[in-house]
Amino acid sequence: MANIGYSQDFAARATSPVDTLIRSVLFAAVFLSLWFSFHPFASLAEPLAVTEEGDSANQVGYSTLFLLLAAWCLLHRPERLLLLVRPVLIVTLAWFALSVTTSWDPSLSARRFAFAMITIGIAGMVLLLPRNPRHFSDVMAAVVLIVIAACYLGVIFVPSLSIHQATDILEPELAGDWRGAFGHKNEASAAMVLFVFIGVFVARMRSPALGALIMALALPFLYFTHSKTAIAALMLVLMVSTIMAHVRPAVGIAVALAVVVGLNLLSIGSIYFAPVRTLVDAIMSDPTFTGRTDIWKFALDHVAQRPTTGYGFSTFWGTEQVVYGMSGVTWANTASHAHNGYLDLALTVGIPGSALVTLWLMVLPLLDYYRAPDDPFGAPLQMLFLRICLFAAYESCFETMFTQVGALWLILIAASFGLRFLAVSRVAD
């Protein structure tokens, strides 16, 4: 990875033990912070203290990571980041800024947009730290094993903080579902799916035994989160990514995008199209997708009211206008998100904004996957990034974790940036 955008000679000079240690520590710090968050093992029996100005721990934590990475990059050819500045990114960020000015809560949108810019910066800079894919693999394996071990230890020794309880203020019906160090079982399940992909990557890049160990630890934890969406998405991604690796680009991209269209048609389409609704009724025991259809209908009705700029960047759910101003309309106004990333984007940044993000983080990464040079050494890393992007695309048909500003959104952006880097540069050992 370190050879992205600069010569072999420079890479050779930058591989001293001290340099490698600094790179490893910074890289590990970023991903440990993302997966542990700044509130690990939080009690759900009482609400997390967050002020109107936002979560100070997140603000300080992510800002510190950004500054440390920026300082490192300034000494290691920061112009390499220009490879990521493509027209769609500029237009997308400009549209986000426009949605801030038209938001029904401009100050909140502005704060969240500033936070989003920090996470985007971290996502780009962190990819410059590993010296090569093997270094990436080694540090990532260590990070993942630490996180998984902490999650299992939490389940064993502090189950009240690692397993959903009937005393949880929100969603007590999830009692018994594992969440580990994460704040919700859906976050834990998404992380475990990513850990499976990382295990496959480590097995191919560094050690079959170590990769198998990671997968053997992640899969049981994934099962006990009881997240059907994540489990189904895992199998779907493995199948689609395998197909993409063995077919022509046009076919592979068509298959990947067809799955997104099909999942959204099956879910949201069941609200409006009778044949789809009949099919869902026939194949599913719960045709409401555990109550999601009410939320989707509520969200779509409000997208129709402000289809162009939306209600403001990362500003709709949980606001006073929705929770209190729309009370009595439907219980869906109390939801924390739309359970569909594409809908959430349309709500907050409008339909054009949703289309731009989809192009930036889903369509173009698929093109970049096929544009990358045929390099057996870099292929496992390329496949890892592809699987993360596919998982985000498919998971977002039923959840919103990868389109809300935060840790998992950062990981998706990093994966899309990674495919961009690999498409425009040569990965060398």
What does the pLDDT look like over 316-331, one tens digit per residue? Answer: 887 778 777 665 556 6
What is the C-alpha to C-alpha distance for residues 185 and 163, in angstroms, rounded to an integer? 8
Average the pLDDT over 248-256 and give the result. Answer: 97
Residue range(s) defining the domain that contains residue 390: 8-424
Sign of CA dihedral 394, 398, 403, 405: negative
Return the amino acid letter for 152: Y
The reported pLDDT for the residue numbered 327 is 56
Q: What is the pLDDT of residues 86-125, one digit of tens each?
A: 999 999 999 999 999 999 999 999 999 999 999 999 999 9
Confidence of residue 54 (pLDDT cuts 50, 70, 90): low
Confidence of residue 399 (pLDDT cuts 50, 70, 90): confident
Average the pLDDT over 394-416 and give the result. Answer: 83
The reported pLDDT for the residue numbered 2 is 47
* Domain-embedded: residue 38: yes
The reported pLDDT for the residue numbered 10 is 37
The reported pLDDT for the residue numbered 4 is 54
Confidence of residue 9 (pLDDT cuts 50, 70, 90): very low
pLDDT-wise least confident of 76-80, 217-221, 266-270, 331-335: 331-335
Return the amino acid letter for 219: L
* Domain-embedded: residue 27: yes
Q: Is there a contact between 369 and 386 (Cβ–Cβ < 8 Å)?
A: yes
What is the pLDDT of the chain when averaged over all its residues?
88
* Domain-embedded: residue 209: yes
Query: Which phi and psi angles does 84 have, rounded to 5°?
Result: -90, -15
* Domain-embedded: residue 190: yes
The residue written with tokens 């899309």 in the block is 416
Here the tokens at position 172 are: 């007590």
* Domain-embedded: residue 309: yes
* Domain-embedded: residue 1: no
Q: Is there a contact between 132 and 428 (Cβ–Cβ < 8 Å)?
A: yes
Here the tokens at position 200 are: 């496959």
* Domain-embedded: residue 314: yes
* Domain-embedded: residue 2: no
Q: Is there a contact between 214 and 199 (Cβ–Cβ < 8 Å)?
A: yes
**Residue count (the chain):** 429
pLDDT-wise least confident of 15-19, 80-84, 182-186, 261-265: 15-19
Q: What is the pLDDT of residues 152-190, one digit of tens each?
A: 999 999 999 999 999 988 888 899 999 999 999 999 999
Average the pLDDT over 293-303 and give the result. Answer: 90
**How many domains does the chain divide into?**
1
Average the pLDDT over 40-59 and give the result. Answer: 71
The reported pLDDT for the residue numbered 395 is 92
Q: What is the pLDDT of residues 185-221, one digit of tens each?
A: 999 999 999 999 999 999 999 999 999 999 999 999 9
Average the pLDDT over 289-310 and give the result. Answer: 89
pLDDT-wise least confident of 11-20, 210-219, 275-284, 342-351: 11-20
pLDDT above 70 as % of the chain: 91
Q: Is there a contact between 317 and 338 (Cβ–Cβ < 8 Å)?
A: yes
Q: Whole-structure pTM over 0.85, yes or no? A: yes
The residue written with tokens 């998992």 in the block is 408
Given a cut of 60, whether residue 136 has pLDDT beyond it is yes
429 exposed, middle or buried (CB, 10 Å; 0-12, 13-18, 19+)? exposed
